[in-house]
Amino acid sequence: MYRDIYGNNRKRKMLLVMMMTLDASVVLCLPQTSGVGELLSVAGGGVGAVLEAVSQPTCSLILLTDGTTSPSTILKEESVVRGSPWGVGVFEVVVDGQDANETLVLLSHLLHQARQMKMVGNDLFLSQVRMESRCVRVVVTSHDLVFLATFAEWSLKGRLLVWATKLLVVTSLPLPQLHALLSSHWTFSMMNTILLNLEDTQPNLRVSVYTHLPYTPEGAQVVRAASWTPNRGFALTAGRLLFPPKFSNFHGATVNITALPFPPYWDVLKGPDNTTRYSGTDYYMLEAIAAALNFTIHVVPTNSWVEVAKRVEERVSFMATVFHNMLPERLERYDYSWVYEYGSLDFSMAQPGIKPQWQSLYYPLTDVVWAAVLLALLLTPVVLLLIIRVDEGGNNDVKITVGTVVQDVAGMLVGQNLPQRLPRTSSSRVLVATWLMFALIFGSAYRGNLTAFLTLPKYPPRAETLQELVSTADRITMPPYGAEFKNFFSKSDSQLFKRLGQLMHIVPSVNVGQQQAVDKKQAHLDTRRYQKLSIAKRFIGTDGTPKLYLGRESIIPGQSAWPIPHDAPFGPVLDRCLMAVIEAGLYEQWSKDLLFQAQVKSRKGQQQQHVAKKTDSDSSIRSLTTTHLQGAFLLLLLGLGIAGITFVVELLILRLLQASRGN
């Protein structure tokens, strides 16, 4: 129900009253004994003053009461409404305080509504000013510790607050309880929260404003930021801010993070004296951020990637500082920092087998050239024979046969001696000279290209895109964290991704996956940098070429970032630091350096192996193997075979002739 109660046209003021009397029959059990009466009616001036102090023209207000404040009180407090030009949503929970569970259930409903109202507020605003309002203030009033604690718990679960939302808790508590309350709940200690405490009653009415600072040079503490009295009004304590930034400097405090080795992003090295050292691009980035924000890194021990994320969800760890791909399912459990890396998922596969080497005798020339040579080889003897026959006209002493001419011409082509029995006429000499020239050029070209083709074998086409991958690979492996991806792909509408999901199998590690990819017709999926590093470390052949290649197309050209808890208040600070590192180009440089180091190390290791194996021979010389030269041998065998058959046929004919003569 929307009601414009002010009808004030100068400033559009809208009061959005949503009464949610969830259980009207239960008796209010809240202590009225303190004599403070309705909190908001007494401290309302203070709340109004604070709201006005932080007011912006586009703010809306969510007011949450525990049923001890009647709506009429709220409507009376004009000062509260004045600080929130864009409307006030009032939620009232009337609960039987004996049943904590009931309160929880009710609050969860309520906060769900409140979050939706936040959206309604935005929509209202959008339609009117075409600008988005993120300015929401939440005021919670209650005397009841249980109610406040429950609110703290459920505002987290219901995701009511983000850092930009300012929360005012209006209460009246003794100081020790107040300190305990402020420091024991994430909503109060970490979020943008202040607490207005009614500390004295009429006529010395006084409201003090407290806030919890988790990181100060003296450690975590609750400080008094301001005070309000009806006479003197609102007064800030010297050197304090009403809503201070809490995460711009950690003052050397320890910050929990979770990570597991995932080179080149995160790697664990053994330092001297059993110390653990870390390395990797993401670690360097974290180190830079820790230096900028002055905190000490504490890596919470974890056993699996699931646990890494779980600690973040539980807010034990502030962030999982290793590259995580963004998936919709993951967003339900945690948020992400600023996207700092192109989180591609790429596949590696073994180079497909080299084409049969005997064909390398044929590859150096194209089909047309071979055909032209054959034609030349047919034509030239014919022309030469013509010349010879014309020349022989008068002289029948020496008869040169057709066979001899063909044999001689073919012989010249493959570089045999100049035949002596050819005619000595000028025309035949010119022809022979031309033929020799042709043979020289053809022979050199063929010889040169043949050498190149023998040493640089021709690879058949290999899978480069997702489509080709799905049609070539028998299995596709992924490390354990891939279970989520398999799930994600299987649910896709795309047939390609569905097929990919079917082919996917989980293997214990990238080493196992890549080894299988080398041995079988399989592919391994992982991030590009990680695979590159892994190949550089372990899958380099003896001749220095990698045994695996990375497909050109990424499976999902996704975004990746560090998981942080839902609505983490330090998110904006973290994002700014991440941006600074990325924009300075440091991340790319670290990545390049690490890859280079790995390559150098791997090469050194291999050279040492080679030296150990054969100290006398130079490993950099590559000799041609029988595989390279099998073409030549095959040709020889073929020749021998044909010669053998011809020989047998000749013998048979001879026998037949002898037999016929004998008869």
Stretch in the footprint of ligand NAG (CB under 6 A) among 4-12, 250-258, 260-268, 470-478: 250-258
Q: Which lies closer to ligand NAG via its Cβ, residue 295 or residue 347? A: 295
Exposed, middle or buried by CB within 10 Å (0-12, 13-18, 19+), for 88?
buried
The DSSP H or E segment spanning 563 is: strand 563-564
Residue nearest to ligand NAG (CB): 252
Stretch that binds ligand NAG, among 40-48, 158-166, 183-191, 248-256 (CB under 6 A): 248-256
Residue ranges in 258-277 that form contacts with ligand NAG under rule CB under 6 A:
273-274
Q: Which of 316, 441, 640, 653 binds ligand NAG (CB under 6 A)?
A: 316
For residue 559, the SS3 value is strand
The stretch among 251-259, 402-410, 442-450, 512-520 that binds ligand NAG (CB under 6 A) is: 251-259
Helix (H, G, I), strand (E, B) or coil at 136: strand
Nearer to ligand NAG, 217 or 460 (CB): 217
Q: Judged by CB, which is closer to ligand NAG: 87, or 565?
A: 565
Q: Decide: is 55 part of the binding site for ligand NAG (CB under 6 A).
A: no
State the first-to-last Cα distance of the chain, in angstroms, to the nearest integer: 128
- Amino acid identity, position 388: I
Least Å from the CB of residue 575 to ligand NAG: 20
Give the footprint of ligand NAG on residues 112-151 (CB under 6 A): none
Count of CA atoms in the C-beta half-sphere (13 A) of 528:
17
Nearer to ligand NAG, 273 or 332 (CB): 273
506 backbone dihedrals φ, ψ, rounded to 5°: -95, 130
- Please, which residues bridge with residue 525 across strands? 347
Nearer to ligand NAG among residue 82 and residue 251 (C-beta): 251
User: What's the min distance (Å) between Cβ of 217 and ligand NAG?
Assistant: 4
Residue list 324-383, contact with ligand NAG (CB under 6 A): none
Nearest distance in Å: CB 308, ligand NAG: 13
Q: Which is nearer to ligand NAG, 183 or 407 (CB)?
A: 183
Nearer to ligand NAG, 275 or 396 (CB): 275
Q: Of 294 and 509, which CB lies nearer to ligand NAG in the complex structure?
A: 294
Could you give the angle at the alpha carbon of 21 between the alpha carbons of 19 and 27, nearest 5°?
A: 145
Q: Between 136 and 319, name the residue whose CB sits nearer to ligand NAG.
A: 319
**Residue 55 in contact with residue 242, Cβ under 8 Å?**
no
Angle at 261 between CA 258 and CA 265, to 5 degrees: 90
Q: Based on the shown chain and the rule CB under 6 A, indicate whether residue 256 belongs to the binding site for ligand NAG.
A: yes
Buried b / exposed e over 229-268, threshold 16 CB at 10 Å, is: beeeebeeeeeeebbeebbebbeebebebbbbebbbbbbb
Binding-residue total with ligand NAG (CB under 6 A): 11
Which residue's CB is nearer to ligand NAG, number 547 or number 566?
Answer: 566
> Residue 212 and residue 222: Cα distance in Å, rounded?
4
Establish if 252 lies at the interface with ligand NAG (CB under 6 A): yes
Q: How far is the CB of 273 from ligand NAG (least distance, A)?
A: 5
Report the residue count for the chain: 663
Q: How far is the CB of 509 from ligand NAG (least distance, A)?
A: 23
What are the start-end ranges of the E strands in 78-232?
88-92, 136-141, 166-171, 193-200, 206-213, 221-229
Token digits for 28? 């209010």
Find the shortest distance in angstroms from Cβ 296 to ligand NAG: 9
Say if CB 29 and CB 97 are below 8 A apart: yes
Out of 7, 176, 203, 217, the residue judged to bind ligand NAG by CB under 6 A? 217
Residues 6+ apart with CB under 8 A from 268: 261, 276, 277, 278
* 98 to 117: interface string for ligand NAG, x by CB under 6 A: --xx----------------
CB of 294 to ligand NAG, least distance (A): 4
Q: Report in angstroms how near the CB of residue 460 gets to ligand NAG at its nearest.
A: 51
Taking the least distance from each CB to ligand NAG, the nearer of 180 and 377 is: 180
For 230-270, where are the E strands, in sequence order? Answer: 233-236, 254-258, 267-270
Nearer to ligand NAG by Cβ, of 273 and 618: the residue is 273
State the Cα torsion 523-348-555-475 to the nearest 10°. 0
Shortest Å distance, C-beta 290 to ligand NAG: 10
Report d(CA 141, CA 195) in Å as an integer. Answer: 10
* Residue with Cβ nearer ligand NAG (298 or 613): 298
Cα angle, residue 549 at apex, residues 545 and 555 outer, rounded to 5°: 165
Judged by CB under 6 A, the stretch of 249-257, 376-384, 456-464, 475-483 that binds ligand NAG is 249-257
Number of alpha carbons in the 13 Å side-chain half-sphere of residue 431: 22
Positions in the binding site for ligand NAG (CB under 6 A): 100-101, 217, 251-252, 256, 273-274, 294, 300, 316
